[in-house]
């Protein structure tokens, strides 16, 4: 067994606070009290890094959006040029179609191919190859 000093405990009286008059030579006089935990030094490094990352992410997002908008502007310009070219081509083809559909041009092309005017008008059945009616 250990040779620890034995403490004598005296019950406290009800009305008076319990207080030791003097410390025994074997036990030094101690006062225990509750103390606050020391304040931990807070570093601003995590907050600063978070702010820096947020700013960098925002700048990268702005750069990406600006690049996409510039790319879209170039595509829009190219499409406008292509649309103008297609409008010019459509006008040219419409004019050529109108010239080729004119009766005088068709008559000239038919005579160039060796066709002649028919003396009488009639209808032909394509399935039979027979003349259905003949006009004068």
Strand partners, 124: 131
**CA–CA dist 129, 123 (Å, integer):** 10
The tokens of 70 are what? 């510039």
Record the pTM. Answer: 0.44
Give, for all 136 residues of the chain, the pLDDT tens digit: 555 555 555 555 555 555 555 555 556 667 888 888 888 888 899 999 999 999 999 999 999 999 999 999 999 999 999 999 999 999 999 999 999 999 999 999 999 999 988 777 778 888 888 877 766 5
Task: Supply the DSSP symbol for 18.
Answer: P
The tokens of 120 are what? 């009488």
Place of tokens 């038919």: 110
Contact 57, 65 (CB under 8 A): no
Question: What residue spans define the domains of the chain?
Answer: 76-114
**CA–CA dist 136, 134 (Å, integer):** 7
């Amino acid at each position: 067994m250990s040779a620890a000093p034995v403490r004598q405990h005296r019950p406290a009286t009800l009305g008076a606070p319990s207080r030791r008059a003097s410390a025994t030579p074997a036990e030094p006089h101690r006062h225990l009290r509750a103390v606050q935990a020391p304040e931990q030094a807070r570093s601003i490094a995590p907050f600063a890094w978070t702010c820096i990352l947020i700013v960098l992410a925002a700048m990268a997002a702005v750069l990406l959006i600006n690049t996409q908008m510039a790319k879209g502007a170039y595509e829009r310009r190219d499409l406008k040029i292509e649309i103008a070219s297609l409008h010019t081509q459509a006008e040219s083809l419409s004019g050529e179609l109108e010239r080729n559909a004119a009766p005088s041009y068709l008559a000239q092309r038919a005579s160039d191919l060796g066709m002649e005017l028919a003396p009488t008008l009639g209808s032909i059945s394509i399935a039979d190859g027979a003349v259905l009616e003949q006009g004068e």
